Structure 1
Amino acid sequence: MEQHYLNSSFREKLIEHSLISELLKISWKNKSCSIEISKPEVDNQGYDLIMEDLGMIRHVQLKTSHIGSSTSKQKVHIALANKPSGCMVWVYFNEATLELGPFLFFGNNPNEQLPSIVDFPIAKHSKGNAEGVKNERPSIRIISKSKFEVINTIEELYQRLFEFV
């Protein structure tokens, strides 16, 4: 599927908007119509979206992978841990239909900070410097897939984001 590689930025936005749409539908079906979703003007604090519903605010870092992807880890900015309810949502999608799910979640209950990531491995730059050395990125940590909680449906993800478990 060459299109996925050539248009990866387009695909990433499409998945983000699909996720937002699905969360809005749940708020509609719940008859609350109360979810609010915002985007930061600058992406330097480790999150892509701010979501609020049921009195809970979430700063969410989004990651995406197609079902069957061999990706086994994700990178996160340490600033996400400073947000009151920071979390990561890793969205899997069907490569042919772009249907969403399952989802992986790394975080705590609403109003609880991200689990500690200070001891997680420090990421390195993907490209080497002039000498070919890949320098460390001290503000970025690597989280293995095994640290994420599996969430099968969008309804379960909504509950995980905005309700205490």
Structure 2
Amino acid sequence: MSEHSLHSSYREKLIEHLLIGELLKFSWLNKDFTLEIAKPEVDNSGYDIIAESNGIIRHTQLKAAFVVSATASQKIHIALSKKPSGCVVLVYFNNETLELGPYYFYGAAPGFPLPSLDHLKIAKHTKGDAGGVKAQRPNIRVLNRGQFEKLNTVNDLYEKLFGSPP
């Protein structure tokens, strides 16, 4: 078993912090200085961070996967669609160097709500009950990687999230 499996929570937080650092660095280098990041105290609406820049607020669910991962889908909470400019960012990373990219984005233009999730498949629990039946998770939907927009750089991701820097 690899350290990625044994310490997945640690890795998840590390990737989150690396991404936030890259977004803040982009803001700094573009003399924008408006990016603010906040974390929810309770995780019941499907987002991991709240990011605001130039009046655009993004409630963002973060997902991470190895660059060579064959992961074809992600599970997202329907409550995310009720947030202003909710979105999902899938961050691919190199499992040896932890270098980030490419990025995949699911959402609408800055200032607009997440597209409806009603048409997406309802997720199921990963473990079955005593009879082997995997119950549905009515508040969770399955989003296929093909529904995301691929972005090669953190610069592209920042502009997708907040528009062009001033």
Instruction: Specify if TM > 0.5.
Output: yes
Q: 1:5: how far off?
A: 1.1
Match of 1:82 in 2: 82
Q: For 2:32 and 2:23, locate their aligned partners in 1 and report how far apart those are by CA, in whole Å.
A: 12
Match of 1:134 in 2: 134
Match of 2:57 in 1: 57
- 1:68 correspondence with 2:75: no
Match of 1:121 in 2: 121
SS in 2 for 1:45: coil
Q: For 1:119 and 1:129, locate their aligned partners in 2 and report how far apart those are by CA, in whole Å.
A: 27
Q: For each residue in 1:10-49, what CA deviation from the matched residue of structure 2 results, as whole angstroms up to 9, or x when unmatched? A: 1110000000000110111111221100000000001000
Q: For 1:100 and 1:150, locate their aligned partners in 2 and report how far apart those are by CA, in whole Å.
A: 13
Match of 2:6 in 1: 6
SS in 1 for 2:68: coil
Q: For 2:119 and 2:154, locate their aligned partners in 1 and report how far apart those are by CA, in whole Å.
A: 31
Unaligned 5+ runs, structure 1: none
TM-score between the two structures when normalised by the length of structure 2: 0.96
Which range is displaced more, 78-87 or 28-37?
A: 28-37
Matches within 5 A, 1:6-45: 6-45=6-45
Q: For 1:45 and 1:148, locate their aligned partners in 2 and report how far apart those are by CA, in whole Å.
A: 20
Query: Percent identity between the aligned chains?
Result: 57
Q: For each residue in 1:111-152, what CA deviation from the matched residue of structure 2 results, as whole angstroms up to 9, or x when unmatched? A: 111111101100001111122211000000001011000000
Q: For 2:118 and 2:48, locate their aligned partners in 1 and report how far apart those are by CA, in whole Å.
A: 21
Match of 1:159 in 2: 159
Match of 1:146 in 2: 146
Q: For 2:32 and 2:138, locate their aligned partners in 1 and report how far apart those are by CA, in whole Å.
A: 42
Q: How many residues were matched structurally?
A: 164
Q: For 2:73 and 2:122, locate their aligned partners in 1 and report how far apart those are by CA, in whole Å.
A: 12
SS in 2 for 1:150: strand
Unaligned 5+ runs, structure 2: none
Which range is displaced more, 64-73 or 31-40?
A: 31-40
**Root-mean-square deviation (Å):** 1.0
1:110 maps to a residue whose letter is: P
SS in 1 for 2:91: strand
SS in 2 for 1:22: helix
SS in 1 for 2:158: helix
